[in-house]
Structure 1
């Protein structure tokens, strides 16, 4: 397929992994100090693993690698970056777990990691009180939905369906004004979540296995760290 880094809106920017400064690469934005704060490589046929060295980008606010062919575990070091505002990993084959404590991510507004292979509980998500969009659907999460998610008063979209969650969507979450709120609330769901306020109870889907192809995302990523 095509590589959108060569197309609009990146006209005039240097190609990704070219020998110039990474601040001039298409898909990369730096702050006035020359530090990487925005990585947007969505839908670019990237494959391989997300390198753990990205956890050294202390000024990173946005990481968007959605709709690629990335696999392996999401590096735990990236969860430690306290300036993060957006993580988008949707539509890859990325696994790993969400840490139980995310209180340091006080600016996180969008956590969109649907259609991957994440597992474990989602307790830590309850620490993200600035969240506006939360998309966890179609992973392998277990346990219950934490009522502390209701503390995110600006949240307008939360999708929990397609996991192995059980229990009830807490009333504290129902008190918020959602445009979209989903869970596995169909009676025939293998893992049932009772919900009195969901906007939809989607039918479970079977997800195709994607075949890696395209550009290796880890190739020469160490240039970010210079």
Structure 2
């Protein structure tokens, strides 16, 4: 797969793909859209995906991914959509304030613990956020009040119909 350096979109969702996410994906320097959701993928998210600066949309929800979130993913400044929901990801949420372009972020139905990072207030383009069904504790950060765009998109991530 790593030889497909010019590929911009890779959608392999809704299959029965198993095993680990191949590190060869990190060699796909033009990859903008990565759809791996609804498979049976296991193990960690490769840290090197944070080096694919062209990524705009990443969906890996509804797999069996485990481990902690690699902080390198949150260095993708042009990422606009990230869905890692319904996996077995754990640990504390890393510094997510570097996702300057993010519009939708879904980390629901995992095993994240700790508090919601204060840096969430830096996500000025965020329109939809779902952190439900985790083990988060503490207070809702006051910085969330800076998220003026939150809720301006479709309400499906907020329990709407």
Question: TM bucket by the smaller chain?
Answer: 0.7 to 0.9
Partners of 2:146 and 2:6 lie apart in 1 by 40
RMSD (Å), alpha carbons: 2.4
Partner residue in 1 for 2:125 = 154
After superposing on structure 2, the runs of 4+ consecutive aligned residues of structure 1 that deviate more than 6 Å are none
> How far has the Cα of 1:98 moved from its partner?
2.1
Partners of 1:63 and 1:161 lie apart in 2 by 23
Partner residue in 2 for 1:55 = 26
TM-score (norm 2): 0.83
Are 2:34 and 2:58, in contact at CA under 8 Å, matched by a contact in 1? yes
Partner residue in 1 for 2:138 = 167
Are 2:43 and 2:66, in contact at CA under 8 Å, matched by a contact in 1? yes
Are 1:101 and 1:124, in contact at CA under 8 Å, matched by a contact in 2? no
Are 2:55 and 2:78, in contact at CA under 8 Å, matched by a contact in 1? yes
Equivalent runs, 1:80-91 vs 2, <5 Å? 80-91=51-62
Choose the corresponding residue for 1:100, options 64, 68, 71: 71
Equivalent runs, 1:185-224 vs 2, <5 Å? none
> How far has the Cα of 1:96 moved from its partner?
2.8
Count matched residues.
154
Partner residue in 2 for 1:178 = 150
> Highest CA radius of gyration, 1 or 2?
1
Are 2:121 and 2:146, in contact at CA under 8 Å, matched by a contact in 1? yes
Structure 1 residue runs without a partner (length 5+): 1-16, 24-33, 183-198, 201-226
Structure 2 residue runs without a partner (length 5+): none
> How far has the Cα of 1:181 moved from its partner?
10
